[in-house]
Structure 1
C-alpha cells in the first residue's frame, strides 16, 4: 500500500493533561507539535484528566481518564468509597477499549514514574498500569516519552510503577537519575534513551526586553514528597515562611517581584505571600501556559523557582536561575544547564542562605547567560534526536529516520 493510500495512524495521548498543571500540558503541546510536523496525517485524541480543557485548547477529541469523577478527592463516606471501587473495575474496560482503537499510545513527559509529591497507588499509578497492560494485551505499543522517574519506597506504588515500565513498548527519560531509578527497581533500561525535558522543544517566543530590577519567584504548594507525609505540615510551613522572608527582603531592596505558579493549587501560596508582604512591588503573574511563563522569565533579571517547569521555562529563556529544589530532577536539570551550584533545598528552605546564593547568581549574571545560550543550543539538538528515535520506533512505515545514541550535556 502506498503512503498516499495508507490509512492515517491513530495516535492516543494519555495522562493528567488539562488538569491545571502547566508542565504536563506543555509536554503534551510539545508532542502535538512534533506529530503535526513529522506525522501530519496522524489522527490524535486523548484520554486525560481534563478533557474539556484539552479539546478546547489543543483541538483534539478527548475523554475523561477516570469513570468516577471524584477519583482524586478523599473518600470518607461509604458511597464515595463504593464509587471509587466500582470505578477501578469500570476503568479496566474503558482503558482497554480506548487503547484497542489506536495504533500507538504516547504518554508525553510528566513525572509518571516518580513519587516526589504525595501519591496514592490506586490513583494515577493504577491508571498508568492499566494503560500499559492494555497496550501489551491489545498489541498497541505504549510509549513513555521523556518521562520522569524516581525511587519509590511504598510497595504497592513501586510494583505498579515497575510493571508499567516493563510493559511499555518504548521508554525515554528526561534525565539520567530517572533511568537509574528504574534500573534500581529491576527494569532493563539498557536500550532506553535520556533526553532533555520535552518542554524545551516548544517554539521559542520573540525577544522580550528585560525589566530592570525585576525578579521572578516561582512558588509551589509544597508539602514534601510521598515519604514526608508525617511531616507535611511542618515542611509546608517552613517553605512558605522562608519564601515570604525572601520575597520581603527583595522588596525591601527595591526589587520588583513577580510570583509565578505552575499548578492551580499554587494560588493558595501566592495569596499567603501577598497578604504577608503587602508591597506594591510584589505582584502575581497570571500565566496560563509555559509560553507565558517563559515570557515572564525572559523579562526578569533573575528567576528563583521551585516547580520543575518554572525552572525549564527560565532556563529556556536564558535567564539566570536559582532552583529551590524538591527532587533530584531539579538538581539534574540545573546540572545539565551548567548551574549545579545554584540549588537550594525546598524542604529545608533558609531565607538567609537563599539570599546569599541569589546575590552570588546575580554577580555572575553575564557568564550565566552565556552558559545558558550554549546549553540551549545543545538541548535543541538532543531533542531532535529524541523525536527522530520516536519516529523510528513507533512510525517505521512513515519513512526512513535515523535512530540516535544518547547524548548528554557535559
Structure 2
C-alpha cells in the first residue's frame, strides 16, 4: 500500500490586502510544512494570485462573480451577484470534495464587529461547512474569533456554519461564549491564543529611541453603527490626529502602521494634517514586517487587532485603541488590560494621559510581556497538537 498525500485546503478572505488574515494563513502553513510536509495544500480565497505568488500554493478565487464586494446598483450587477450565489454552491462543493481536510485559519469569521453583509462572507462560510458535511470532508475552524451578532440572517448563517464544522477552536474565551449563546454546543471546543502568535519573532532591529508606532485603521464603527458611521470616523480620525500632533510637538518620531489597504487614506489624512517630517508611514507588507517595526519602537498605540498582536509579541509596551471586546480581552490576557481606550470615542487628552503612564512603566511591562509570551507559545503548541489529533489521525491511502 502506497500512502498518498493528504489533501488539505485552506479557506478565507486571504490575499485580499488584510495582513492579519494573511498572517493567520502563514501560521497554519508553517504548521503544515513542519508537521505534515507530505500534505498537498491549496486555497479557496479572496486573492488567489497573491496567495500563489507569496505562499507558493495553488489557489482558486473564492467567488465566481468578480464584483462580489462592490456595491451593486445596476440591474446587471444585481443579476451577476444573484447568479454568483447559485454558481458558488456548485463551485464550493466541488472544491471541498477534492480535499480530506479544509482549514479556516484564524480570522474573525464568526463575528460582525466590522460592517458585514450576510450574503457575502457569512454565506460563503456556510457553503463551505455545509459542503464538508455533505461530501464527508472535515472542515476545521481553527483559532477563530466570534462575537454576538444582532442581524438575524448573519447570525443564522454563522450559527449553522459553526454547527456543521467538524472541529472548532477559538482565539479567546469570549468567542467560545458567544457561540454558546448562539446555540452551538461548545463543550468540546478549546480556546488557544491567536494563531499569529506562532509566527517567528524577527531579530531585534536597531532601536529608534523616542519612536512611537501608531497603528491606524479606516474605522467607521461596526455592523450596528451604520447610521452614525461618518460621525464615528470623524471623531476617530480627529482624536488620533491630535494625539499624533502632540507627540510631534514633544519631538517624538511617529511611525504610522496599517493592517489593510483601506487604511492608506487615514495615513494620508494624518500626515497632511500634522505636516511634520517626524511623521512617516510604514510600508510593511506582512505581520513579520509589522513586528519588526514595533520591536524598534519605544511604545505602540494601535487600533487593528493584529497590529496589537504584533506589538505585544515583539514585547513592546502597547496601548489599544479598542474597537471591539476582542481587543480588550487580548490586552487583559497579556497583562496590559489597563491600557485600552475606546476607538469610537477617542479623547486625545485622556489618551495622552494613558500613554504617558504606559511609558513610565515601560521596563515593568516589557518583563510582563516576556513572561506572557512564553505562556502563549506553550498554549499554541497544544493547539497544533490537538489539531493533528483531530484532523490527521489516519492518513488516507491508495493502492497504486
Contact 2:6 2:395 in 1 (8 A): no
Task: Please name the residue that 2:304 is paired with.
Answer: 307
Task: Please name the residue that 2:207 is paired with.
Answer: 210
Task: Please name the residue that 2:258 is paired with.
Answer: 261
Tell me: higher relative CO, structure 1 or 2? Use CA pairs within 8 A at least 6 residues apart: 2
Cα distance in 2 for partners of 1:93, 1:397 equals 28
- Alpha-carbon distance, 1:203 to partner: 1.1
Cα distance in 2 for partners of 1:245, 1:165 equals 42
- Alpha-carbon distance, 1:204 to partner: 1.5
Which of the numbers 37, 50, 54 marks the counterpart of 2:34? 37
Summarize the alignment of residues 321-400 of structure 1 with structure 2, pairs less than 5 Å apart: 321-397=318-394
Cα distance in 1 for partners of 2:300, 2:231 equals 26
Matched position secondary structure for 2:320: strand
Which of the numbers 71, 79, 90 marks the counterpart of 1:74? 71
Summarize the alignment of residues 86-235 of structure 1 with structure 2, pairs less than 5 Å apart: 86-235=83-232
Asked if residue 251 in structure 1 is aligned to residue 251 in structure 2, the reply is no
Task: Please name the residue that 1:284 is paired with.
Answer: 281
Q: TM-score, normalised by structure 2?
A: 0.98
- Alpha-carbon distance, 1:398 to partner: 5.5
Cα distance in 1 for partners of 2:371, 2:168 equals 27
Q: TM-score, normalised by structure 1?
A: 0.96
Task: Please name the residue that 1:407 is paired with.
Answer: none
- Alpha-carbon distance, 1:207 to partner: 1.9
Q: After the TM superposition, which parts of structure 1 deviate over 3 Å for at least 4 consecutive aligned residues?
A: none
Cα distance in 1 for partners of 2:200, 2:364 equals 25
Contact 2:204 2:296 in 1 (8 A): no
Cα distance in 2 for partners of 1:33, 1:301 equals 30
Asked if residue 55 in structure 1 is aligned to residue 57 in structure 2, the reply is no
Contact 2:14 2:51 in 1 (8 A): yes
Q: After superposition, give the CA deviation of every residue in 1:324-379 in whole Å (9 maximum; x if it has no partner).
A: 00011101110110000000000111111000000000000000000000000000
- Alpha-carbon distance, 1:397 to partner: 2.1
Matched position secondary structure for 1:107: strand
Cα distance in 2 for partners of 1:328, 1:80 equals 36
- Alpha-carbon distance, 1:206 to partner: 1.1
Cα distance in 2 for partners of 1:204, 1:371 equals 17
Cα distance in 2 for partners of 1:105, 1:141 equals 6
Matched position secondary structure for 2:49: helix
